[in-house]
Amino acid sequence: MREVLELLESDARLTAGQIATMLGRDEEEVARIIKESEEKKLIQGYFTLVDWDKLGAEKVSAVIEVKISPQRDVGFDAVAERIYRFPEVRSVRLMSGAYDLIVMIEGGTMKEVAHFVSFKLASMEYVLSTATHFVLKTYKHHGVIIDDKEEDRRQVIMP
């Protein structure tokens, strides 16, 4: 199971047949593992990593440190949910340390992001404070080095 998931994580386009060959297993067995993993939500989705910068698309992202006061019975979860329901929020994580949530947000313009922070996020009940950091450049994303300059420099033929 683990090996199948690792392979899919590295390349979601691999077919059950290819994975089966690579792992020396039966195709039907692999297909079943994939289906089960999807059903159990072990596999949460299949995505494509796009370098939007290269396309020249106008996109602004920011990480926002959020301090909140936890609520009785639900702790941080209820506030987190109110935040992650917004589609412009790409990720929300509860952190140890000086702040509670780290929120990654993506918008078309800096104004949009600023608008979201001041009107939606900072003004939310139980949110004590926010600190917004705009992303200037992404070097590595989901384990992939953006615009990796390392290429195949081997001689074409060697003993």
Whole-number minimum distance, CB 156 to other proteins, in Å? 4
In DSSP terms, which residues pair with 156 in a beta bridge? Answer: none
- By three-state DSSP, how is residue 83 classified? helix
To the nearest whole angstrom, how small is the minimum distance from the Cβ of residue 27 to other proteins?
11
Q: Are 43 and 7 in contact (CB under 8 A)?
A: no
Q: Which of helix, strand or coil describes residue 47?
A: coil
In this structure, what DSSP letter does residue 53 have? H
**Among residues 27 and 88, whose Cβ is nearest to other proteins?**
27
Q: Which residues pair with 106 in a beta bridge?
A: 61
Residues forming contacts to other proteins in the complex (CB under 8 A) are 7, 11, 18, 21-24, 150, 152, 154-159
Q: Which is nearer to other proteins, 6 or 39 (CB)?
A: 6
Q: Which residues contact 1 (CB under 8 A, 6 or more apart)?
A: 33, 37
- The CB-of-24 to other proteins minimum distance in angstroms stands at 5
State the nearest-atom distance from the C-beta of 66 to other proteins, in Å. Answer: 33
For residues 21 and 71, which CB has a smaller minimum distance to other proteins in the complex? 21
